[in-house]
Structure 1
Amino acid sequence: MADLDKKTWTQKGLNGLKQLGIMLLLFLVVSTAVDLWRGKDIPTEVLPPISALDLDGNLVDVMGMSQEDPVLVYFWGTWCPVCNFVTPAVDIMSEHYPVVSVAMSSGSDDRLNHFLADKGYTLSTINDQQSFLAREWSVQVTPTVMVFKGGELKHYTTGFTSLPGMWWRMVFA
């Protein structure tokens, strides 16, 4: 009887793992499809420049910066609820990799500086008050994360992105 119970539990465990694997695969397929659809308008061939002054008055030239090392570009907004979960991970990434954040429609420089200081973020941030850069890049979903290497767009994703997901994109750029 104990042998039968053990086999039953083993079989149930294997079935549960199989179902979990199927659900994970389905999640990956659906999230990849959604990501591709959301980013369908993002230019991949002729890239507009991301060159502007950050909040500290430094000229940021993403294409130039990406010639030797990968650069993570993060389009976000202070008003974006998902960004509240992603921005801390981007800030951690900025301690290890070149990161440029582009704050879309997030108010004046003073307001944005106050927001960043209040959260303890040290990101190099371009204030895209009127979302000119975002429109030029066809960014319609926040957050959007892009990775550039050698002046080329290597990876992009929209919506929630995890720290391991960003790290993976940077390492394999």
Structure 2
Amino acid sequence: MKEPNQKTWGKKLLSGLKQLSIMLILFILVSTVVDLWRGKDLPTESLPTMTAVDLNGDLVDVLAMSYDDAVLVYFWGTWCPVCQFVTPAVDILSEHYSVVSVAMSSGSDKKMKHFLSDKGYTLSTINDRQGFLSRKWSVQVTPTVMVFKNGELQYYTTGFTSLPGMWWRLLTA
């Protein structure tokens, strides 16, 4: 049996890295196009207010908060399978950045508090029981992540989003 030499091994490694790079670029391109298409109905001029009382009884005004620091707004649901992977990352970010989560059609305040406590989540959560806030913002897909800075929507993405992706959006807003 002939063993591959280092030259052959190196060529295979370079070929694999090239394929991985192409796949990554294609993924980013497709993801960007999908986000743009999904966000076509999203208000960009004369943004609606995003003011509500969270589950702790605190008044949350996202646009006002965004004048101090970038604010990540996370629309999600307890019933959303993808959110099970994204919510822990959002909770980690909430320890270091301004984060407001909006739980869409996920039950009563009592049920939501129990869910958050059971999972160990500490992020500020608005319970959008009837989906009024999500409809006002034309959110149709969960999870949806928005980043606001200086009263303006800077970033918008839907579906699975990684912790580094959200962190990067907050830093560049």
Give TM-score scaled by structure 1 length. 0.95
Query: Which whole-Å CA distance do the structure 2 matches of 1:94 and 1:6 have between them?
Result: 47
Q: Could you tell me the percent identity over the aligned residues? A: 74
7-16 vs 121-130, greater mean Cα deviation: 7-16
* 1:91-130 CA distance string (max 9 Å, x none): 0111001111100000000011110000010111111001
**Is 1:95 aligned to residue 95 of structure 2?**
yes
**Is 1:130 aligned to residue 130 of structure 2?**
yes
Query: Which whole-Å CA distance do the structure 1 matches of 2:168 and 2:60 have between them?
Result: 24
Look up the match of 1:147: 147
Look up the match of 1:37: 37
Tell me the secondary structure at the aligned position of residue 39 of structure 1: helix
* 1:39-67 CA distance string (max 9 Å, x none): 22111122001001111111110011111
Tell me the secondary structure at the aligned position of residue 13 of structure 1: helix
Look up the match of 1:109: 109
Give TM-score scaled by structure 2 length. 0.95
Structure 2 unaligned spans of 5+: none
Query: Which whole-Å CA distance do the structure 1 matches of 2:122 and 2:134 have between them?
Result: 21
Query: Which whole-Å CA distance do the structure 2 matches of 1:70 and 1:52 have between them?
Result: 18
Query: Which whole-Å CA distance do the structure 2 matches of 1:68 and 1:121 have between them?
Result: 24
Alignment of 1:3-22 (within 5 A): 5-22=5-22
Query: How many residues end up aligned between the 2 structures?
Result: 171
Query: Which whole-Å CA distance do the structure 1 matches of 2:159 and 2:123 have between them?
Result: 19
111-120 vs 11-20, greater mean Cα deviation: 11-20
Q: CA deviation at 1:134?
A: 0.3
Query: Which whole-Å CA distance do the structure 2 matches of 1:86 and 1:22 have between them?
Result: 25
Aligned-CA RMSD value: 1.3
Query: Which whole-Å CA distance do the structure 1 matches of 2:82 and 2:159 have between them?
Result: 7
Q: CA deviation at 1:7?
A: 2.4
Look up the match of 2:120: 120
Q: CA deviation at 1:152?
A: 0.5
Q: In structure 1, give the amino acid aligned to 2:11.
A: Q
Q: CA deviation at 1:20?
A: 1.3
Look up the match of 1:49: 49
Query: Which whole-Å CA distance do the structure 1 matches of 2:166 and 2:159 have between them?
Result: 12
* 1:69-90 CA distance string (max 9 Å, x none): 1111110000000000000000
Query: Which whole-Å CA distance do the structure 2 matches of 1:163 and 1:10 have between them?
Result: 32
